[in-house]
Structure 1
Amino acid sequence: MRLRDRTALITGAASGIGRAIAVSLARRGCHLALADVNEAGLAETASLVRSGSLLVTEHRLDVSDRDAIAKFPAEIAAAHPRVDLLVNNAGVAVGGTFEQVSEADFDWLLSINFFGVVRMTRSFLPVLKRSDDARIVNLSSVFGLVAPPGQAAYVASKFAVRGFSESLRHELEGTTVGVTVVHPGGVATSIAKNARVPGGHDADEVERRRAAFDKHLRLPAALAGETIVLGVEARKPRVLVGKDAIALSVVERVAPVSYWKLLGRAMRD
């Protein structure tokens, strides 16, 4: 896929993988519509990618807001004549087992991680179909391949993104719109630090768990963003980001039921 002079809409663009994708796309001459709830972070991303030859716009958007998403194509159309690439990257995390996570927190996570993806796709698919070469890029996770304990809400959302993306890809075969689902491994972002934690937990224990999780987040976000954009250019249906994601995908295929007996020990080490 040739990205120069295309236009990409990226959610969750204020930091982390979303920002890294924006930087990689800008380097290829792709115009950008950057969306996030974090306006200060959006401004920082825009300052990194803006140049005289690129049209870069910033848009405050809460992807859990159904009405805001329904109105968003009109806002983007007022700023950009076309959209060729939709990157559904916005995501959040909630720590805790299924019994520990409240129904409200579970619903909040799904409203962003899954229904945000579905609603953005529904709103922008007609726009993308007007392009001669378009793509939807949905961010799942390595936890859309394997399902560790203590991540029931997050895992549910990321497996849902994976299934939705694969079915949509089959439905859109023969059209000008392709679909890529991305499974990042341990990327060095602030998602663990910003995760919601169920009430009533000891603060020291919460920090210990966050530190234990953080040690697996090693891959620089810039490398993750470049890997994803390379996958888009190659029209890959699935992009595994990081050696850990590649290894986990193999383990899951070899032992689809019993993989956690092996992985659980490795993650504790």
Structure 2
Amino acid sequence: MTNQTSAEMKNTNVLLTGATGGMGVAFSKLLLKKGANLVLIGRDKTKLQQLKDELLASDKSIKNGVINTVKVFVVDLVEAKQRAHLIEYLTTLPFEINLLINNAGINQLSLLEQTSESEVNRIISTNAIAPIQLTQALLPILLKQPCAQIINIGSTFGSIGYPGYSAYCASKFALRGFSETLSRELADTDVSVKYLAPRATNTSLISENIEQLNDALNTHTDLPEVVAKELLSLIKQNKTERYIGWPENIFVRLNALFPAIVGNSIVKQLPIIKTFARVSLR
């Protein structure tokens, strides 16, 4: 690694949610490699510390004279008091956050009639309400920066309603709508709002039954490192949205223009989807 590469994002101070998940780890490694300072947050103290140790042990930029900061903070973003403690902690750092990546999320394959009320609440709260409220709390800090970004990690299912994922799709549709609206709301500021939509990605969110469904439908699954590279591209671009994968990005656009065509195609898969959705609840 050269000095130029490791210092590419030396003035970027990142707050990353869901840091210990598959995509979070990949994001952390790539952003640190590019020279960013990281504040990694999650609910598992042990996993966060392990990730921090791993990142610092592998950080070659220190040898090139660029010292990265990696901080960790344990927080459940659904809880208002814990979010407030996080914001208070951020004010004690020697740098101010100028890139918020709302990455934390959960998934579940199940038919709505067989999904508990608590699970619906958990998915919607984690995937949509928590990132909206965290963004709201952090916005005063971001607005003070000469240049700042908010990147919300969504999903192809934030644009295409898919059977077996009703709560998940609802949460990602909400996150996409929030991103679009806030982007326009902040258009006269120095804060950019962007939305990254991965397709199926090989992380812990892919349960055995989801994996089996993807295999049955011949659904391509990306590695987290692929998504991390797409994230980096989005950070550098002026675009507000980036969809990953073909034919998924074509289906997103087709669904927006001709939803019946995409709907008819998906309905043909319904017997297979229901088989794996019911199995996941046994």
TM-score, normalising length: structure 1: 0.87
Contact 2:39–2:73 (8 Å) recurs in 1:
yes
Q: How many Å apart are 1:266 and its aligned residue? A: 6.5
Specify every segment of 5 or more residues in structure 2 that has no aligned partner in the other structure, as ranges: 1-7, 274-282
Instruction: Find 1:120's aligned residue among 134, 137, 154.
Output: 134
Per mean C-alpha deviation after superposition, the further-off stretch among 158-167 and 104-113 is 104-113
Contact 1:145–1:248 (8 Å) recurs in 2:
no
d(CA) in 1 for partners of 2:242, 2:21: 20
Instruction: Find 2:101's aligned residue among 61, 82, 87.
Output: 87
TM-score, normalising length: structure 2: 0.84
Instruction: Find 2:226's aligned residue among 223, 226, 234.
Output: 223
Aligned counterpart, 1:211 = 212
Instruction: Give 3-state SS (helix, strand or coil) of 1:26's partner.
Output: helix
Cα distance change, pair 132–260 in 1 and its aligned pair in 2 (3 A): same
Cα distance change, pair 106–79 in 1 and its aligned pair in 2 (3 A): same
d(CA) in 2 for partners of 1:36, 1:112: 12
Task: Give deviations 1:203-238, integer Å, cap 9, x for gaps.
Answer: xxxx55552246636211011111111111113200
Letter in 2 for 1:216: T
Contact 1:185–1:244 (8 Å) recurs in 2:
no
Task: Give deviations 1:12-56, integer Å, cap 9, x for gaps.
Answer: 000211121112211211100000112333234323432431000
Whether 1:146 aligns to 2:160 is yes
d(CA) in 2 for partners of 1:253, 1:21: 29
Whether 1:15 aligns to 2:24 is no
Instruction: Give 3-state SS (helix, strand or coil) of 2:229's partner.
Output: helix
* Larger CA Rg, structure 1 vs 2: 2
| Aligned residues: CA RMSD | 2.1
Instruction: Find 1:174's aligned residue among 178, 188, 192.
Output: 188
Task: Give deviations 1:118-156, integer Å, cap 9, x for gaps.
Answer: 111011001111111100001111100101111110011
Contact 2:73–2:86 (8 Å) recurs in 1:
no
d(CA) in 2 for partners of 1:230, 1:208: 32
Work out the percentage of aligned pairs sharing the same amino acid.
Answer: 25
Specify every segment of 5 or more residues in structure 1 that has no aligned partner in the other structure, as ranges: 194-206
Cα distance change, pair 80–14 in 1 and its aligned pair in 2 (3 A): farther
Cα distance change, pair 48–234 in 1 and its aligned pair in 2 (3 A): farther
Per mean C-alpha deviation after superposition, the further-off stretch among 159-168 and 16-25 is 16-25
